[in-house]
Chain A
Amino acid sequence: MHGMINRAFQGFLVDTYGRDTWDEVRSVAQLRFPDFEAMLRYEDKVTLDCFKAATDVLHKHPNALLEDLGTFLITHEPYAPLKRLLRFGGSTLSEFILSLDELADRGRMAMPDIEMPEIEVTQGAEASFRIKAEWALPGVGPILLGALRAMADDYGALATLSLDGFDGARECIRIDVFDMAHSEGNAFVLGEMPA
Chain B
Amino acid sequence: MNIQVPKPQPGILMPKPVMDALLPMHVVVDTRGAITQTGPTFAKMAGQQEVLGRPMMDVFSIRRPSGIKTFDALMQNADQRLSLCLQQAEHLPFRGVILPLPDEGGAVLNLSFGLSFARAVADFSLTLSDFAATDQTIELLYLNEAKASTTRLSEHLTKRLQDANAVAHEQARTDVLTGLSNRRAMDDELEHLMSCRGQSFTLMHLDLDLFKQVNDTHGHAAGDAVLVEIGRILDYELRRNDFPARIGGDEFLIALRPAQSDAIVSRIAKRLIARIEEPIDLGEFTVQISASIGIASTSAYAKRPSVEQLMNDVDEALYEAKRNGRGRHSIFKPSAENAVAPLDDR
Contacts and interface: CB of A to CB of B under 8 A. Distances in A.
Interface of A: 4, 27, 30, 32, 37-40, 81, 84-85, 88, 90-91, 106, 109-111, 188-194
A39 B192 contact: no
B120 A191 contact: yes
A191 B142 contact: no
A110 B143 contact: yes
B157 A192 contact: no
Chain A facing B: main interface SS: loop
B118 A191 contact: yes
Interface residues on B, range: 20 to 34
Interface stretch (B60-68, B126-134, B202-210, B246-254): B126-134
Given A32-B192, A37-B157, A110-B149, A190 B141 contact: yes
Select the residue from A30, A90, A106, A191 with max chain B CB neighbours within 10 A: A191
Contact of B150 (A37, A40, A106, A110): A110
Given A27-B195, A39-B153, A39-B157, A191 B148 contact: no
25 contacts: A27-B195, A37-B160, A39-B154, A84-B145, A85-B142, A85-B146, A88-B142, A91-B128, A109-B139, A110-B143, A111-B150, A188-B127, A189-B122, A189-B127, A190-B121, A190-B126, A190-B127, A190-B128, A190-B130, A191-B118, A191-B120, A191-B124, A191-B126, A193-B122, A193-B145
Given A81-B145, A193-B148, A30 B196 contact: yes
B123 interface: yes
Contacts of B126: 190-191
B146 A191 contact: no
B169 interface: no
Contacts of B149: 81, 85, 110
Interface string B177-193: 00000000000000010
B125 interface: yes
Contacts of B122: 189-193
A30 B257 CA distance: 15
Contacts of A189: 122, 125, 127
Given A190-B128, A191-B118, A85 B157 contact: no
Contacts of B153: 4, 38-39
B240 interface: no
B187 to A, nearest CB: 14
A109 B185 CA distance: 41
B26 to A, nearest CB: 20
Contact of B121 (A38, A110, A191): A191
B78 interface: no
Contacts of B143: 109-110
A40 B128 CA distance: 33
A81 B138 CA distance: 15
Contacts of A84: 145
B197 interface: yes
A191 B125 contact: yes
B129 A88 contact: no
Contacts of B141: 88, 190-191
A49 B19 CA distance: 56
A192 B122 CA distance: 6
Select the residue from B120, B124, B143, B145 with max chain A CB neighbours within 10 A: B145
A188 B127 CA distance: 8
Interface in B194-244: 195-197
Contact of B127 (A32, A91, A193): A91
Contacts of A91: 127-129
Contacts of A191: 118-126, 141
A29 B218 CA distance: 50
Interface string B236-278: 0000000000000000000000000000000000000000000
Contacts of A106: 142
A37 B115 CA distance: 33
A91 B138 CA distance: 12
Nearest to B146: A110
Given A27-B197, A88-B139, 14 more contacts: A85-B142, A88-B141, A88-B142, A91-B127, A91-B129, A106-B142, A109-B146, A189-B122, A189-B125, A190-B126, A190-B127, A191-B119, A191-B121, A193-B145
Contacts of B124: 191
A192 B126 CA distance: 10
Interface in B133-165: 138-139, 141-143, 145-150, 153-154, 156-157, 160
A32 B193 CA distance: 11
A30 B187 CA distance: 17
Contacts of A193: 118, 122, 145, 148
Select the residue from B120, B124, B149, B196 with max chain A CB neighbours within 10 A: B149
B44 to A, nearest CB: 12
Contacts of A190: 121-122, 126-128, 130, 138, 141
Contacts of B156: 38
